[in-house]
C-alpha cells in the first residue's frame, strides 16, 4: 500500500489505463502542456505525446461532441470539463448523444467514454466555479454518474469506468484534490460501479451522502458518538445507478435516515432517495426521512461567510441528527 492524495489517485488511474490500452486518450482545455487547470493530467503529455493528450479550444460542446464521435468508432476518450458550472455548454452532446447512443442504435453502437468534470464548493470559487450540479446528470437515463470521496475510490472507480462500455460522468470534487489523502494498493485494482460503501457502521441513524459530504458526515459521527448517537455513514460512490439495496438495508436496521448533499435541496438527488425509502421501507421507519442540503439559491456565494452559510458542514449535520434521534 502507499499513501496518495485524491488528485494523485486520479492521475495514476489515467496513466495506468493509457499504458494498458492504446485506445484511451485525454482531451480538454489545458490538459496537455499545462497539465490541467488543477494538474490532474500533469506528466501525461510528456509520456504519451500530443496525439493522446490533446489540448482543445475553449469549447465544452466541442470537447464532448468530439469525444462522443471518437467513442462511437471504438476509441476510449476521457475528456475533461474544467468546471462543472460550464458543463451546461455541452448539454446537447451529453444528453442527446452521449446518453442515447446505445439505445438509438438498438445496441449497435456503444459510447465508452468517461467525462471527467471538476466540481464542488469550499474553494472560494464563487458563482461560476463552485457548483456540483450532479442533479443535472442524475436525471438523464443512459448515463452512469460517479462521485468518489476518497483516493482509493477515485482511482478504482475511474479505472472501472474507463474499462466499461457505457458513458460515464465522473464528478471529482475540487476541495478533496489535495485535502484528502489515503492508502491505495501498489497493484492494479478497480472498484465496481453502482456499489455504495459503508464508511462507518452505526445503529441510530443512516446518513446517505457522497463526495465532500462523506467527510463532513464522518466528522459529525465522531461528535455524536460521544453523545451516544451512532451514525451509519453510507458513501453512495455511484449516483446513477445508486445502490438501493444497501441504502434500504441500512435504513431497515436504523429506522431513521438523513440524506446530505451540497447542491440545493429542490430537485436534488436526495429527493429521489427519500421517495424510494418512503415507498419501500416505510414500515421500518421510526421518523420521517430527512434531507440536509444547500439552500435554494443560485450557488455558490463568493464571500467566505456566505459560502460557509451555504455549505452543509459537520455542525449542521450533527444538529439535524440530534433532532432525528429525539423524534
Q: Which residues pair with 264 in a beta bridge?
A: 294
Tell me: pLDDT of 295 over 90.
yes
When pLDDT is averaged across residues 57-85 and rounded to a whole number, the result is: 97
- For residue 156 the three cell numbers come to 478504482
Average pLDDT, the chain: 97
C-alpha 101/C-alpha 261 separation (Å) is 30
How many Cβ atoms sit within 10 Å of the Cβ of residue 59? Answer: 14
What confidence tens digit (pLDDT) does each residue in 169-211 have? 999 999 999 999 999 999 999 999 999 999 999 999 999 999 9
How many Cβ atoms sit within 10 Å of the Cβ of residue 56? Answer: 18
Tell me: pLDDT of 145 over 90.
yes
- By percentage, how much of the chain surpasses pLDDT 70? 100
Q: Which of 251, 259, 317 is nearest to 285 (CA)?
A: 251
C-alpha 24/C-alpha 200 separation (Å) is 35
When pLDDT is averaged across residues 314-319 and rounded to a whole number, the result is: 98
Whether the Cβ atoms of residue 135 and residue 267 lie closer than 8 Å to each other: yes
- For residue 233 the three cell numbers come to 455513514
pLDDT of residue 114: 98
Tell me: pLDDT of 37 over 90.
yes
**At residue 143, what are phi and psi to the nearest 5 degrees?**
-100, 150
pLDDT of residue 298: 84
pLDDT of residue 299: 78
**Surface-to-core class of residue 183, CB atoms within 10 Å of its CB (0-12 exposed, 13-18 middle, 19+ buried):** exposed
pLDDT of residue 78: 98
Nearby residues of 297 by Cβ (< 8 Å), 6 or more positions away = 264, 310
pLDDT of residue 6: 98
Q: Which residues pair with 24 in a beta bridge?
A: 76
Q: Is the peptide bond before 250 cis (omega within 30 degrees of 0)?
A: no
Tell me: pLDDT of 99 over 90.
yes
C-alpha 15/C-alpha 26 separation (Å) is 10
What confidence tens digit (pLDDT) does each residue in 225-283 have? 999 999 999 999 999 999 999 999 999 999 999 999 999 999 999 999 999 999 999 99
- For residue 273 the three cell numbers come to 432517495
Task: Give the chain as a 3 state SS string.
Answer: CEEEEHHHHHHHHHHHHHHHCCCEEEEECCCCCCCCCCCCCCCHHHHHCCCCEEECCCCHHHHHHHHHHHHHCCCEEEEEECCHHHHHHHHHHHHHHHCCHHHHCCCCCCCCCEEEEEECCCCCCCCCCCCCCHHHHHCCCCCEEECCCCHHHHHHHHHHHHHCCCCEEEEEECCHHHHCEEEECCCCCCCCCCCCEEEECCCCEEEEECCHHHHHHHHHHHHHHCCCCCEEEEECCEEECCCHHHHHHHHHHHCCEEEEEEEECCCCHHHHHHHHHHHHHHHHCCCCCEEEEECCCCCCCCCHHHHHHHCCCHHHHHHHHHHHHHC
Identified catalytic residue from 129, 173, 215, 261: 129
Q: Is 215 a catalytic residue?
A: no
pLDDT of residue 221: 98
How many Cβ atoms sit within 10 Å of the Cβ of residue 66? Answer: 17
Amino acid at each position: 500500500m502507499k499513501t496518495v492524495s485524491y488528485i494523485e489517485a486520479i492521475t495514476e488511474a489515467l496513466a495506468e489505463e493509457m499504458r494498458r490500452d492504446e485506445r484511451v486518450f485525454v482531451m480538454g482545455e489545458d490538459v496537455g502542456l499545462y497539465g490541467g487547470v488543477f494538474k490532474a493530467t500533469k506528466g501525461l503529455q510528456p509520456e504519451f505525446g500530443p496525439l493522446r493528450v490533446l489540448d482543445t479550444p475553449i469549447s465544452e460542446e466541442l470537447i464532448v461532441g468530439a469525444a462522443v464521435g471518437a467513442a462511437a468508432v471504438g476509441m476510449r476518450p476521457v475528456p475533461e470539463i474544467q468546471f462543472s458550472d460550464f458543463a451546461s455548454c455541452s448539454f446537447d452532446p451529453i444528453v442527446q448523444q452521449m446518453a442515447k447512443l446505445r439505445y438509438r442504435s438498438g445496441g449497435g453502437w456503444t459510447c465508452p467514454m468517461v467525462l471527467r468534470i471538476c466540481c464542488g464548493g469550499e474553494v472560494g470559487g464563487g458563482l461560476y466555479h463552485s457548483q456540483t450540479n450532479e442533479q443535472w446528470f442524475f436525471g438523464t437515463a443512459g448515463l452512469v454518474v460517479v462521485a468518489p470521496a476518497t483516493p482509493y475510490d477515485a482511482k478504482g472507480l475511474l479505472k472501472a469506468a474507463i474499462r466499461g462500455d457505457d458513458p460515464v460522468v465522473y464528478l471529482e470534487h475540487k476541495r478533496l484534490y489535495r485535502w484528502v489523502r489515503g492508502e491505495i494498493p501498489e497493484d492494479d485494482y478497480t472498484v465496481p460501479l453502482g456499489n455504495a460503501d459503508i464508511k462507518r457502521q452505526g445503529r441510530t441513524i443512516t446518513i446517505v451522502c457522497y463526495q465532500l459530504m462523506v467527510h463532513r458526515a464522518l466528522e459529525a459521527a465522531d461528535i455524536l458518538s460521544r453523545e451516544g448517537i451512532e451514525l451509519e455513514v453510507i458513501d453512495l460512490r455511484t449516483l446513477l445507478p445508486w445502490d438501493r439495496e444497501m441504502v434500504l438495508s441500512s435504513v431497515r436496521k436504523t429506522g431513521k435516515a438523513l440524506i446530505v448533499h451540497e447542491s440545493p435541496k429542490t430537485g436534488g438527488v436526495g429527493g429521489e432517495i427519500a421517495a424510494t425509502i418512503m415507498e419501500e421501507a416505510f414500515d421500518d421507519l421510526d421518523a420521517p426521512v430527512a434531507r440536509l442540503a444547500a439552500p435554494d439559491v443560485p450557488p455558490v456565494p463568493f464571500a467566505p461567510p456566505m459560502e460557509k452559510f451555504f455549505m452543509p458542514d459537520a455542525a449542521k449535520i450533527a444538529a439535524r441528527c440530534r433532532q432525528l434521534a429525539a423524534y
